[in-house]
Amino acid sequence: MWLKAWHLIGMVTWFAGLFYLPRLFVYHAMSDDQASIDRFKVMERKLYNGITTPSAVITVGLGIWMLVDYAWAAFGSHLWLHIKLGLIVLLIAYHVYCGKLLNDFKHDRNTHSHVWYRWFNEMPVVLLIAIILLAVIKPV
Ligand code: HEM
């Protein structure tokens, strides 16, 4: 239960970062004055390196710990767990891609519009809903 509690705390802070970072990209892509651009670079770097990535490591680490400890024996044959793990691969790919976008902004070579980032920002919402429904309802 302690592992699960910290797994969920890590998940909440991970998603806080995954929701807020692309939002910063939206405003960064709309900015044209140097003071704002410099401020967004600092905010993005601190959010990604200070909160989002450590939270991802905690969530994934504790999730794997629970799998090894008891959950694989209990649920290893359940389809929901396999689908959940597949969606987490997509979530990690999204996280890594956010790091690439952050690096592009850092070197002033962003190529996407603020509208593109608004759509990009919706992807973790879909993944969050799907993963929570699978983990809690265990429908299959
Ligand atoms: C590699 C990453 C992950 C692994 C290996 C993993 C694995 C696990 C395991 C083994 C459990 C315990 C299942 C049980 O006792 O019922 C669990 C619980 C849970 N996980 Fe994950 N998880 C991962 C990432 C995530 C993410 C990203 C989310 C949310 C988006 C999430 C949401 C949940 C929830 C809500 C529960 C509680 C389910 C319940 O007790 O009803 N997990 N996870």
Encode pLDDT of 1-50 as tens digits: 999 999 999 999 999 999 999 999 999 999 999 999 999 999 999 999 99
Of 66, 82, 87, 129, which is best to mutate to test ligand 1, by the most ligand atoms within 8 angstroms of its C-beta? Answer: 66
Whether residue 40 contacts residue 105, with contact meaning beta carbons closer than 8 Å, is answered with yes
pTM across the whole model: 0.94
Cα–Cα distance for residue pair 92/102, rounded to 1 Å: 15
Gap from CA of 67 to ligand 1 centroid (Å): 9
Ligand 1, CB within 6 Å, residue ranges: 4, 7-8, 11, 59-60, 63-64, 66-67, 71, 88, 91, 128, 131-132, 135-136
Which ligand 1 atom is nearest residue 67's CA? 10
Residues 7, 12, 17, 20, Cα dihedral to 10°: 170
From residue 83, give the alpha-carbon distance in Å to each of 9, 39, 90: 22, 39, 11
Whether residue 62 contacts residue 6, with contact meaning beta carbons closer than 8 Å, is answered with yes
Cα–Cα distance for residue pair 54/43, rounded to 1 Å: 16
- The model's pLDDT over 74-128, given as tens digits with 9 standing for 90+, comes to 988 999 999 999 999 999 999 999 999 999 999 999 999 999 999 999 999 999 9
> Range with the lowest mean pLDDT among 58-67, 69-78, 126-135?
69-78
Ligand 1, atom 4, residue with closest C-alpha: 63
Instruction: Scan for tokens 């400890």, then name that residue.
Output: 69
Of 13, 15, 59, which is best to mutate to test ligand 1, by the most ligand atoms within 8 angstroms of its C-beta? Answer: 59
Rounded to the nearest angstrom, the gap between the alpha carbon of residue 107 and the centroid of all alpha carbons in its chain is 22
